[in-house]
Amino acid sequence: MKKLVNDVHNVVKETLEGFALAHADLVEVHLDPDFVTRKTPKTEGKVGLVSGGGSGHEPLHAGFVGEGMLDAAVPGAVFPSPTPDPILEATKAADHGAGVLHIVKNYTGDVLNFETAAEMAEMEDIEVRSIVVNDDVAVEDSLYTAGRRGVAGTIFVEKLAGAAAERGDDLDAVTAVAQKTNSEMRSMGLALGPCTVPHAGKPSFDLADDEIELGIGIHGEPGYRRGKMESADALVEELYTKVRDDLELKAGERVITLVNGMGGTPSSELYICHRRLAELLEADGVSIARSLVGNYVTSLEMPGVSITLLRVDDELLELFDAPVSTPAWK
């Protein structure tokens, strides 16, 4: 294993220390317990947003802390969920008197620990709601989940619910935006190779030089099929078809697209994928209202790509376009 680390047991701590130094104008990093908050808190009377999960998916989640998105993010160890205690502290920091929304990716550890933290927060008179993100169409009931996994579409929930909270919507309304966003999006990814968790020291799975894994999870969980390497156009078409059919997209509808790198894919290849995605959407009569291409939700250094489609109306598009200022989205 070759990685730019010092001690494999200090990866998260040293990552947070570097993140704090790089983005001191936007965030504050708290250690022991570990969580990240906005440098400038929201106005009193506005809903707070908290998300989190295992580290290794950067810039998710700490990269999206700031105006227009999250009030706080809670990183766990590399891939495992954070424990309830730091989630509670982040929730308390994010509370400005109007309640807090937890945005939780659908993994068993994340769901259980956020539920526990919510119960603890309510004992301290903080009203907490939760949205469980489950946008991955690849598999049901995987290694770490009951139901569908939460993957790259999580950033859309954070962005749109964050914009609703920023403009002053109450907790019910912000939760409704998060639920609507989750229901209107689908994702699926593929891997060209594995990633290596630092403390494990070896690849998370094996793929032959000519093999790919379709439907891969962001922790390297198995997908729905393993096959031979194909052209970018063919692979994007398979991802798109699965996502389109599950979302039941129709001609005349509008979408926001996300072509997301898994950590080890060059930008040039992501743009080749976006090119094909745009062609397929045009052929189906679906218009691209906005698009994102880049590394937003990664799996360490995994080479691969995921595609997310979010069907939008005027309300969701307005929230997407609302001002935002975070380390990873400005």
User: Is 219 an active-site residue?
Assistant: yes
Look at residues 127, 155, 184 and tell me which one is the last residue of a structural domain.
184
Which CATH number belongs to the domain containing residue 99 in this structure?
3.40.50.10440
Both 160 and 206 in one domain: the answer is no
Of 296, 300, 303, the closest CA to residue 69 belongs to 296
pLDDT value at position 244?
Answer: 98
Tell me, yes or no, whether 176 lies in a domain: yes
**CA–CA distance from 286 to each of 277, 279, 280, 289 (Å)?**
11, 10, 9, 9
Tell me, yes or no, whether 241 lies in a domain: yes
| CB contact at 8 A, 78 and 14 | no
| CB contact at 8 A, 291 and 256 | yes
d(CA 253, CA 289): 10
Tell me, yes or no, whether 329 lies in a domain: no
Look at residues 167, 184, 201 and tell me which one is the last residue of a structural domain.
184
Both 203 and 143 in one domain: the answer is no
Both 27 and 157 in one domain: the answer is yes
Q: What is the DSSP letter of 10?
A: G
Both 200 and 177 in one domain: the answer is no
d(CA 161, CA 33): 26
Look at residues 169, 184, 199 and tell me which one is the last residue of a structural domain.
184
Both 154 and 284 in one domain: the answer is no
Number of structural domains the chain divides into: 2
Both 291 and 226 in one domain: the answer is yes
**CA–CA distance from 125 to each of 53, 98, 99, 120 (Å)?**
24, 11, 9, 9
Both 261 and 238 in one domain: the answer is yes
Structural domain span for residue 142: 8-184
pLDDT value at position 146?
Answer: 81
Both 112 and 232 in one domain: the answer is no
* Beta sheet of 100-105, edge-to-edge order: 27-30, 35-38, 72-78, 48-55, 100-105, 128-133
Which tens digits make up the pLDDT trace of 150-192? 999 999 999 999 999 999 999 999 999 999 999 999 999 999 9
Tell me, yes or no, whether 306 lies in a domain: yes
Which tens digits make up the pLDDT trace of 261-293? 999 999 999 999 999 999 999 999 999 999 999
| Burial track 17-55 (b if 16+ CB lie within 10 A, e otherwise) | eebbeebeebbbbbeeebbbbbeeebeeebbbbbbbbbb
pLDDT value at position 305?
Answer: 98
Tell me, yes or no, whether 325 lies in a domain: no
pLDDT value at position 144?
Answer: 66
pLDDT value at position 139?
Answer: 85
User: Is 61 an active-site residue?
Assistant: no
pLDDT value at position 101?
Answer: 98
Both 173 and 191 in one domain: the answer is no
Which CATH number belongs to the domain containing residue 192 in this structure?
3.30.1180.20
Tell me, yes or no, whether 89 lies in a domain: yes
Both 163 and 215 in one domain: the answer is no
Both 89 and 142 in one domain: the answer is yes
pLDDT value at position 145?
Answer: 74
Tell me, yes or no, whether 1 lies in a domain: no
pLDDT value at position 115?
Answer: 98
Q: Which of 23, 57, 61, 102 is catalytic?
A: 57
Both 173 and 196 in one domain: the answer is no
Tell me, yes or no, whether 134 lies in a domain: yes
Q: Which of 23, 61, 102, 219 is catalytic?
A: 219
**CA–CA distance from 103 to each of 130, 175, 211, 252 (Å)?**
6, 10, 34, 30
Ranges of the chain with pLDDT below 50: none
